């Protein structure tokens, strides 16, 4: 700005100085020419009257000033006398403008410019009484010569003007800029002293208002975004094309098992595994990419999607979901299918083999009964298995309607024990039922199955001469079923798994004891269906107690998870 002001002032001063100098020179030049013409005219008249009186002697005797040239020309134009040159050497002057005029009118004048000496010659001629002419010539400096004479003072004045401009420009610019520098951009209203700044201040005020409104909007959107993403159970990460994290919710840090993370860091600070890198690089290549990570104490499904702008990827949106349960369920489903196939195949193979032997007549007549018994035993096993699978799948189907009626547990237990009387006698187990009548709202079929499986196990896994006690009691708003036996018990390390489908504690020993490995799964789901809990206490070699607590008022469509 100082430079601009300096240049403006210098230019204005320079142009003014040059213009004034030119004007002065022009005026001076005109005046000088006028004076020179007047002077030469006067001289010519004086000399003419002197020659009129004194003749040629006057011219020869008089010492003329060096600044003038005096020439005497006869009426024919021949030069009779000249102060500068030999008269004989000079040509006829009759055609000279001033001479021709003087010969005609009595007086004549002219001026001529000489480039070489940059001077102007002024001539004045006066006719004498004898017809001859006296001409006086004088020279004065031309405009250019006069201007050149002034060049040094002009340059001096220009230099002084430049110096003056520099000093004044710096002072002026400082004074102009100071109030602008003093403006408080946050509070432009504070600067009100200069009305010239009013439009600028007004603009700043409007701009400030606009910026603050936009900032508020951005802040509120950021808060809204953070509120929404923080309430998500899925992880969400937004990264730029260089994979620097722009936004990331707490769920993402938790799911990836990252303790501390600062926004703006590389996404790899969250997880640096090869599989994660590959997934992100694929997405950066423009394709939606998925992978499963084992991190943060579980399995995480990562979905990386490219954010496209026209033809290029301008960032990534990464979703992280906890799929531990889903994966486990998937594993369970796979295991269940393979277990079911296996469990169905084994008795069917035996049935087929035995039947084949019978059909081919290879079996001795006395063995037919035993072979038939084998087939019946395996077929019974198949039926039990299929029944259990049907029960389980019914319980699995949340939407499957089950009756909701008042069920009295004590009489239900009596009925179940009655059905198991024969097997209890065969095993030599004494079964007893104690407690009180307790009714609850629920499904009689499911509760009957739950009790049957627990009592059946209590007999199956008991010892000869052992006991099975069933007790029905109630606590506030809950019914309690306790089934305890004095059987073989369950080793501690197996207790956590006995409710899994097809899980049997000791496969080799269990083979001798009929079972599908689905009984306790049915118990678990049946209790869950009634929003209840089941608890196991067992000691190897001493016995097992199952305690079931069920809410008396069953709420429809609510499944308990606390088993």
Q: Does 531 bind ligand ADP (CB under 6 A)?
A: no
Which of 410, 461 has the CB closer to ligand ADP?
Answer: 461
Degrees to nearest 5, angle at CA 329 with 328 and 334: 100
Minimum gap (Å) between residue 247 Cβ and ligand ADP: 49
Answer for which of 276, 336, 461, 529 binds ligand ADP (CB under 6 A) is 461
Distance separating alpha carbons of residues 219 and 225, to the nearest angstrom: 10
Contact between 502 and 343 (Cβ < 8 Å): yes
The CA distances from residue 58 to 160, 278, 547, in Å, are 55, 123, 166
Joined together, the tokens standing for residue 534 give: 């089941």
Which of 315, 466 has the CB closer to ligand ADP?
Answer: 466
Q: Does 296 bind ligand ADP (CB under 6 A)?
A: no
Q: Determine how β-strand 430-435 pairs with β-strand 467-475.
A: parallel
Q: Does 482 bind ligand ADP (CB under 6 A)?
A: no
How many residues interact with ligand ADP (rule CB under 6 A)?
22
Which of 315, 487 has the CB closer to ligand ADP?
Answer: 487
Strand-pair partners of 479: 474, 550
Minimum gap (Å) between residue 377 Cβ and ligand ADP: 15
Answer for which of 96, 504, 525, 530 binds ligand ADP (CB under 6 A) is 504
Helix (H, G, I), strand (E, B) or coil at 78: coil
Which of 315, 532 has the CB closer to ligand ADP?
Answer: 532
Answer for which of 123, 485, 532, 548 binds ligand ADP (CB under 6 A) is 485
Answer for which of 188, 296, 458, 526 binds ligand ADP (CB under 6 A) is 458
For 37, residues 6+ apart whose C-beta sits below 8 A from its C-beta are 109, 111, 122, 124
Q: Does 165 bind ligand ADP (CB under 6 A)?
A: no
Q: Does 519 bind ligand ADP (CB under 6 A)?
A: yes
Q: Does 249 bind ligand ADP (CB under 6 A)?
A: no
Distance separating alpha carbons of residues 93 and 104, to the nearest angstrom: 14
Which of 315, 489 has the CB closer to ligand ADP?
Answer: 489
Joined together, the tokens standing for residue 409 give: 């547990």
Q: Does 487 bind ligand ADP (CB under 6 A)?
A: yes
Joined together, the tokens standing for residue 360 give: 């081919």
Distance separating alpha carbons of residues 82 and 132, to the nearest angstrom: 14
Minimum gap (Å) between residue 550 Cβ and ligand ADP: 19
Q: Does 505 bind ligand ADP (CB under 6 A)?
A: yes
Q: Does 520 bind ligand ADP (CB under 6 A)?
A: yes
Q: What is the largest CA-CA distance in the chain?
A: 197
Q: Which letter, b or e, does each residue of 442-477 get, where b requires 16 or more Cβ atoms within 10 Å of its Cβ?
A: bbbebbbbbbbbbbbbbbbbbeeebbbbbbbebeee
Q: Does 442 bind ligand ADP (CB under 6 A)?
A: no
Q: Determine how β-strand 79-82 pairs with β-strand 235-239.
A: unpaired
**Which among 82-90, 136-144, 172-180, 488-496 is the span making contact with ligand ADP, rule CB under 6 A?**
488-496
Which of 489, 532 has the CB closer to ligand ADP?
Answer: 489
Contact between 308 and 285 (Cβ < 8 Å): no
Minimum gap (Å) between residue 509 Cβ and ligand ADP: 8
Q: Does 515 bind ligand ADP (CB under 6 A)?
A: yes
- Compute how many other C-beta atoms are within 10 angstroms of the C-beta atom of residue 103: 21
Q: Does 526 bind ligand ADP (CB under 6 A)?
A: no
Q: Does 498 bind ligand ADP (CB under 6 A)?
A: yes
List of residues contacting ligand ADP (CB under 6 A): 453, 457-458, 461, 485, 487-490, 498, 503-505, 510, 515-521, 544
């Amino acid at each position: 700005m100082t430079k601009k002001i300096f240049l403006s002032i210098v230019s204005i001063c320079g142009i003014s100085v040059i213009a004034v100098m030119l004007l002065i020179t022009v005026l001076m030049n005109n005046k000088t020419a006028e004076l020179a013409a007047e002077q030469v005219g006067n001289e010519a008249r004086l000399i003419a009257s002197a020659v009129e009186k004194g003749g040629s002697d006057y011219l020869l005797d008089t010492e003329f000033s060096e600044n003038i040239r005096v020439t005497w020309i006869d009426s024919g134009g021949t030069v009779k006398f000249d102060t500068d040159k030999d008269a004989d050497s000079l040509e006829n002057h009759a055609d000279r403008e001033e001479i021709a005029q003087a010969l005609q009118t009595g007086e004549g004048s002219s001026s001529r410019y000489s480039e070489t000496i940059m001077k102007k010659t002024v001539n004045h001629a006066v006719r004498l009484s004898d017809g001859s002419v006296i001409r006086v010539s004088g020279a004065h400096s031309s405009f250019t010569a006069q201007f050149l004479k002034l060049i040094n003072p002009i340059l001096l004045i220009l230099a002084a003007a430049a110096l003056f401009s520099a000093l004044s420009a710096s002072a002026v610019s400082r004074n102009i800029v100071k109030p602008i520098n003093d403006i408080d951009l946050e509070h432009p209203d504070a600067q009100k002293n200069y009305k010239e700044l009013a439009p600028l201040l007004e603009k700043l005020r409007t701009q400030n208002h606009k910026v603050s409104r936009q900032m508020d909007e951005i802040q509120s959107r950021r808060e809204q975004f953070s509120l929404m993403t923080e309430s998500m159970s899925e992880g969400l990460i937004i990264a730029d094309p260089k994979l620097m994290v722009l936004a990331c919710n707490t769920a993402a840090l938790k799911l990836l098992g990252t303790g501390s993370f600062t926004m703006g860091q590389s996404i790899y600070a969250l997880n640096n595994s090869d599989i994660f890198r590959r997934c992100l690089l694929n997405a950066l290549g423009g394709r939606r990419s998925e992978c499963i990570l084992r991190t943060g104490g579980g399995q995480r499904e990562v979905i990386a999607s490219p954010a496209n702008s026209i033809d290029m990827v301008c960032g990534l949106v990464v979703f992280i979901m906890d799929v531990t349960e889903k994966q486990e369920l998937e594993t369970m489903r796979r295991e269940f299918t393979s277990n079911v196939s296996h469990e169905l195949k084994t008795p069917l193979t035996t049935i087929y083999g035995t039947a084949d032997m019978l059909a081919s007549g290879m079996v001795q007549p006395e063995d037919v009964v035993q072979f038939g018994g084998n087939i019946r035993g395996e077929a019974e096993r198949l039926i039990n298995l299929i029944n259990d699978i049907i029960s389980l799948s019914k319980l699995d189907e949340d939407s499957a309607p089950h009756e909701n009626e008042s069920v009295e547990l004590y009489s239900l237990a009596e009925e179940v024990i009655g059905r198991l009387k024969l097997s209890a006698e065969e095993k030599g187990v004494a079964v007893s039922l104690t407690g009180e009548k307790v009714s609850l709202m629920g499904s009689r079929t499911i509760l009957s199955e739950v009790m049957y499986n627990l009592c059946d196990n209590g007999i199956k896994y008991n010892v000869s001469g052992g006991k099975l006690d069933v007790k029905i009691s109630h606590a506030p708003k809950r019914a309690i079923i306790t089934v305890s036996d004095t059987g073989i018990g369950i080793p501690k390390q197996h207790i956590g798994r006995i409710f899994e489908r097809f899980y049997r504690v000791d496969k080799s020993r269990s083979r001798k004891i009929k079972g599908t490995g689905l009984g306790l799964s049915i118990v678990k789901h049946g209790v869950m269906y009634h929003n209840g809990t089941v608890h196991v206490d067992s000691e190897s070699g001493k016995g097992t107690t199952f305690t079931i607590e069920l809410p008396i008022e069953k709420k429809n469509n609510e499944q308990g998870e606390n088993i």
